[in-house]
Amino acid sequence: MAIRQRPGFPVNVERTAKVTEKTNVYFDLKPGQSVNLRFTPPSDESGELFFVSAQHFKMKQEGQPRAYACLRAHGVDQECPICVFLERIEEVFADNDTLREKLHREHDVAYRWHAQVVPVPKEGQGLAEQTYVIGLSKATADKVSKILMMEKDNRLILLTDPDEGQAINISRNEKTGFGTRYEVMPTGLRMSLDAITTVSAAGVPAWEEKFLNVRDALKLRIEKPESLYPIIAETVGIVAFAKVFPEVTL
Ligand SMILES: [Zn+2]
């Protein structure tokens, strides 16, 4: 009797868990969407509201597109092979504008300013059961910093105050890609974080119970430099890799 072949692949439990974990924590503003956000106090002892990440996107490992932390920003005195690659192609592929532009567009280091937020529930929406991490561009994060500065100059309660901070409205235009723009506006609506999150049986508000360390929540892939070489090779192809890194054996 022939063995009947069943469709599908074995489930990868770790990978599945990682994916759901990540989408659970990330707050994503969709095109055309507008939201009022309350920023929590910083999770870093430096007191900086934003944690800045530097990542190379769309790198490939085992066929999966992934982002890797830039080691110039997140390594400990380590050189970043992806940055080196992108610098060397200027000379190595001087005659191939299309290739150079594509590689820069897809993999140049991208910076994001991350903070922890709680979305203010809209009419008919339930209270937030957790906090989220939002990733903003420098221009958008600057607008939030300016509101903070204005509050300080005018001796107002800061927007990060857990009890009386004001909600900040962030809206995204309809465009995607390079056309994406965000507007940031102070709403003047002051509210306690306790009032917009659920409360546990023990009486602890969810924003306190599930308070995140922003840096850790991002789960940046900080690899050793030598581990990045095979990833670069898979991403750009073995031929291009060998031309740029003739001294590296995979
Ligand atoms: Zn880099």
**What are the boundaries of each domain within the chain?**
24-31+38-138+197-242
Q: 151 near 131, Cβ under 8 Å?
A: no
Residue with tokens 């790198």: 59
Q: How many residues does the chain have?
A: 250
How far apart are the CA of 114 and the centre of ligand 1, in A? 19
Distance 182 CA to ligand 1 centre (A): 26
Is the Cβ–Cβ distance between 29 and 86 less than 8 Å?
no
**Structure tokens of 141?**
């994060």
Q: Is 153 within 8 Å of 145 (Cβ atoms)?
A: no
* Cα 248 to ligand 1 centre (Å): 18
**pLDDT for position 1:** 58
22 CA from centroid of ligand 1 (Å): 22
How confident is the model at residue 223, as a pLDDT?
A: 96
Please tell me the predicted confidence (pLDDT) of residue 21. Answer: 53
Give the C-alpha separation, 28 to 15, whole Å: 21
Q: What is the pLDDT of residue 20?
A: 57
CA of 58 from ligand 1 middle (Å) equals 13
Residue 243 Cα to ligand 1 midpoint, Å, equals 19
In this prediction, residue 179 carries a pLDDT of 87
In 3D space, the residue among 203, 101, 206, 106 whose CA is nearest the CA of residue 162 turns out to be 206
* Distance between Cα 69 and ligand 1 center (Å): 7
- Whole-number pLDDT of residue 19: 59
What is the distance in A from the centroid of ligand 1 to the CA of 241?
16
| CA 135–ligand 1 middle distance (angstroms) | 19
Distance 110 CA to ligand 1 centre (A): 9
User: What pLDDT score does 56 carry?
Assistant: 98
Task: Give the Å distance between the CA of 107 and the centre of ligand 1.
Answer: 9
CA 60–ligand 1 middle distance (angstroms):
15
The whole-number mean pLDDT for each consecutive block of 10 residues of the chain, a chain of 250 residues, reads 79 73 78 96 94 97 96 95 98 97 97 97 93 95 97 97 98 89 96 96 94 95 97 97 96
At residue 164, the pLDDT reads 98
pLDDT for res 176: 85
Instruction: Give the pLDDT confidence score for residue 13 in this predicted structure.
Output: 83
- Report the C-alpha gap between 210 and 131 in whole angstroms: 7
